[in-house]
Structure 1
C-alpha cells in the first residue's frame, strides 16, 4: 500500500448480509464500483478505494456480511470483515430501516461494542418520513442514534458524509493544490504503477495466488467455484517499484452464466484485462489446458497485453510422464500465444512463485518499450534487403506510433503479402527483444 493511502482516514462499512452495504459504498464513491444485487452473499472480499467529500480524501472499504459460526465460507468472509475493522478510523454499521432489527443485527452490534472503534449506525432504505420515525428502535443496539439514508436514491447521503468528516476530526484534511516539478513548460507526473491481472477459470487458485503475492489474506479463498465476485486490486511494493495486482472472478462460457451477479463479475474481469499491463493466466495443472482456457487466452491476447502462463497445483502431479504430457499440451493448445513464459508453481505452498517477479518485470518493460524511428527503419531496410516482399512492394518508412502494446505503422507503396508482414513482425520482435509481448503492425499505403 502506498504511503499516501496509509495517511488517509479509513471508513469501513459493515453489517449483516443484504442491508445495502455495497450500494452505500457506491454512493460514497459517487460511481458504480461494487457489484450490487438484492440478495445476500454477493460481496465476499473487502474492496478498498479512495473517496472524497468536500475536498477531504479518505479510504472507504466495502465488506461482506458478518456472519460468524455459519458455513466455512461465512467464517472466512467474517474474518475479512474483522480484518478491515482493525484498520478503521470509523465504522459505518448498516442496518435495514425497512425491516427493523434482526437477530443478526444484534450479533453485529454485540461484536462492535466489544471493540474500541467509533461506530455510526446507518439506517439504510429509509426512503420516506414514516421509516425515519421508526428509527428509535435502533437505539437498543447500544451504539447511539441511527442516521437515516437511502443509499439507492441518495436521500440524506450528504448529511451522513458530513457526520463522517466530523467524526474523523483532525484526520480529515482537505486536499491543497500542488504544483508539479517545473521543467520550462510542463509538469512531470509520476507514472502509474503497472497493473497485473490474475485471470483464469473458476477454482484454479487465482485468489490463493493473489494472497501469496500480496502477502496477506486479502481475498477469500475457498474450494467452491466462483468465490471472488469482483475485481480486487492491491498495490504491492516490490524491488522493482509498486505493482498493482488485480484478483478477478473466474470466467466461464457466457452460455453457462445464469446468474446476473456472475455476469457482472465477468464484465468487471474483462475490464480488468483491458486495463492490465500484464495478465497472469492461471491454469489448473491437474486438468491441463481446457477449451475454456484456450478461449480465455484468446480474449487476453486480443486485449494486447503480455501473458505469463502459470501452471498452478504442479505439486499434485507426481508422475513424470504425466508432467511431460501436460507441458506438451500447453505448447500445442496455446501455440497461438507465441513464445510466452510458462511457470510451474504452487500458489498454496509458494513453490516457484518467486520466479514470477523477474518475468513480470521483463514483460512490463517490453510492453512499455519505445524504439527510436531511425532504429526501426534500419531493421526494416535490412529485413527487406535480405528477403524482399516481391512484386515491387516495399516499406517506404516506418515509425512506432504507440506503446501498450508496441504498435508500428508501416507506410508502403503497395499492399504487402501477409507472409511478408509476419516476417517483418518477427524481425522487429527479435531485434528489439519484445519477447512474448504482442506487437501490432498497421499498414498504410502511401497516397499517390
Structure 2
C-alpha cells in the first residue's frame, strides 16, 4: 500500500516540456504532447507512484503574461492550480535560458508561498548543463536539470519531490491532525468505487459549461472557440450524499474534419473516457438540432454499453414551437437509444441542471439492477400472453449479468427481431429500466 503525499503542480510558459515531464513521471502517455505551444489548456490531474509513495501531478497550460482571452483563461487556471498545490515545479527550457516571461512568472510563483523546485528541461547532455544552471537566477532555489523526453535526471527529481512532500506532511502533522482532511481532499482509496460520469458531445455544445456548473467552479476552460477542451478533465463532486467523478471530454468531430495530431489524441482520450465511464451525459446543441455527427456519437456511446442521459443544452434560446420540434427530432433521430431519458437545460444559467442528479442515479440503479429469475419469468409469460410471438416461444429466461442487465432467453425457435423489441419495452416498463441498455440473448432449445 502506497502513502499519499499530496498534490504537485507543473507550471511554466508554453512549450517548455511540461506535458512530456508529466508523461515521464507517470510512466505512460497520459498527457497530449505536440511540438506546438498551447496544446495543454485545462489543468489535468494524474497519479504518480514512486518508492512506495504516491502523489497527484497536475499538468497545466502555458502561462502567458499577455495574450488572447483564451490565453488569459489558461493562465488563470495555472494560478488556481498553484493555489491548491502542495509543491510547485516551475519548468524552463534549458536550451533557451531565462526569458522575460520566465522572470515575470517566477515573481508570481514566489507570491504563492508554496515550496518550489525550479527545473531546467531539455538538458540532454553534460555539454548543456553549464547554460542550464543560469535558471538559478530566478531566485527559486537550486535547479534540477532534466531531459523529460529521454528520462535523464527524472529519477533524482522524483526523489526530491518525495522528500519535499514528506517534509510538508511532517510539518502539517505538527500543526494539527491533518489525516482526515487529507483523505477527504485526495480520496486515493475510494476513487475506483465512485460513479464515473462522462460529459460527451460535439465541439462547442456546452460540455465544459455544464461541467463547471456541476463542479461548482471554473474547473474547465470555457470559450466560444470549438475545440477549447483538448484532454479529459476530471473532478470529484457531491450531490445529495452521492459522490461522482465528472469527466469533461474534448468535442468529437468526423474523422475527415480532424486536421491536427492534437485533436486526434483528444478524440482518442474522449472515447477512452466513454468506455471507462459508468454513465454518459450526451450533450446536444438544441439550436442546431440533431446532426449526423450526433447520431454517430450516440451510436458509439450505445456500443460502449454505458447508460445514456440525453442533455439538450441551450434550451433557453428556443421558442415554444422550436422546443416541441426539438423533442420530436430527438425522438425520431435518436430512436435507437430511445431508452435514454431526455432533459432540457441551460448550462450557462443553470436552468434544469439540478434535475440531472436524479436522472443519473436512476440510470445507475437500472444499469446495476438484478431481477430474480421467478419474477423475470412471470413478466416474460405476461408479455407472451399479451402479444404472442408470431414464431417461436420463450420457454424461460435468466439474467446472466448486470452493467447492463443481460438476459438470456431460451426459446424453441428463432424469435423475430421486432417481437424482441416489444419484449424489451415490456421488461423496461415492468422493472423500471429507463436509462440503461438491456441486452437480450436468445438460445434455441431442441435444435429447431
TM over 0.5: yes
Aligned to 1:44: 41
Aligned to 1:441: 440
Structure 1 residues 48-447: aligned runs within 5 Å: 48-171=45-168, 192-317=193-318, 319-391=319-391, 393-446=392-445
CA distance in 1, matches of 2:241, 2:333: 33
Query: Per the alignment, do residues 31 and 190 of structure 1 end up closer, same or farther by CA in structure 2, a change over 3 Å counting?
Result: closer
C-alpha deviation, 1:28, in angstroms: 1.5
Cα displacement string for residues 353-390 of structure 1 (whole angstroms, at most 9, x for unaligned residues):
11111111111111111112222223223333444434
CA distance in 2, matches of 1:399, 1:170: 57
CA distance in 1, matches of 2:65, 2:219: 18
Could you tell me whether the CA contact under 8 Å between 1:203 and 1:225 is conserved in 2? yes
Moved more, 249-258 or 130-139: 130-139
CA distance in 1, matches of 2:247, 2:275: 12
CA distance in 1, matches of 2:382, 2:317: 49
CA distance in 1, matches of 2:349, 2:17: 37
CA distance in 2, matches of 1:366, 1:316: 32
C-alpha deviation, 1:27, in angstroms: 1.5
Could you tell me whether the CA contact under 8 Å between 2:227 and 2:250 is conserved in 1? yes
Could you tell me whether the CA contact under 8 Å between 1:123 and 1:146 is conserved in 2? yes
Aligned to 2:17: 20
C-alpha deviation, 1:328, in angstroms: 2.4
Specify the SS of the correspondent of 2:193.
coil
Query: Per the alignment, do residues 154 and 313 of structure 1 end up closer, same or farther by CA in structure 2, a change over 3 Å counting?
Result: same
Aligned to 2:186: none
CA distance in 2, matches of 1:190, 1:279: 18
CA distance in 1, matches of 2:388, 2:356: 40
Moved more, 323-332 or 45-54: 323-332
Specify the SS of the correspondent of 1:414.
coil
Aligned to 2:182: none
- Residue of 9, 32, 43 corresponding to 2:6: 9
C-alpha deviation, 1:8, in angstroms: 4.0
Aligned to 2:173: none
C-alpha deviation, 1:207, in angstroms: 0.3
Backbone CA RMSD of aligned residues: 2.1
CA distance in 2, matches of 1:378, 1:84: 56
Moved more, 117-126 or 437-446: 437-446
Cα displacement string for residues 384-430 of structure 1 (whole angstroms, at most 9, x for unaligned residues):
34444345x33333221222211112233332222232232222222
Could you tell me whether the CA contact under 8 Å between 2:12 and 2:91 is conserved in 1? yes
CA distance in 2, matches of 1:210, 1:339: 24
CA distance in 2, matches of 1:339, 1:442: 18
CA distance in 1, matches of 2:123, 2:312: 50
Aligned to 2:179: none
Specify the SS of the correspondent of 1:13.
strand
CA distance in 1, matches of 2:128, 2:142: 14
Aligned to 2:187: none
Specify the SS of the correspondent of 2:283.
strand
Specify the SS of the correspondent of 2:141.
coil
Query: Per the alignment, do residues 336 and 106 of structure 1 end up closer, same or farther by CA in structure 2, a change over 3 Å counting?
Result: same
C-alpha deviation, 1:171, in angstroms: 4.5
Could you tell me whether the CA contact under 8 Å between 2:65 and 2:101 is conserved in 1? no
Query: Per the alignment, do residues 32 and 137 of structure 1 end up closer, same or farther by CA in structure 2, a change over 3 Å counting?
Result: same
CA distance in 1, matches of 2:48, 2:300: 32
CA distance in 2, matches of 1:113, 1:297: 47
C-alpha deviation, 1:258, in angstroms: 1.0
| Structure 1 gap ranges (5+) | 1-5, 174-188
Cα displacement string for residues 163-210 of structure 1 (whole angstroms, at most 9, x for unaligned residues):
11111134469xxxxxxxxxxxxxxx9971111111111111110110
CA distance in 2, matches of 1:289, 1:388: 36
Equivalenced residues, count: 427
CA distance in 2, matches of 1:68, 1:327: 46
Specify the SS of the correspondent of 1:9.
strand
Moved more, 355-364 or 407-416: 407-416
CA distance in 2, matches of 1:7, 1:351: 39
Could you tell me whether the CA contact under 8 Å between 2:5 and 2:166 is conserved in 1? no
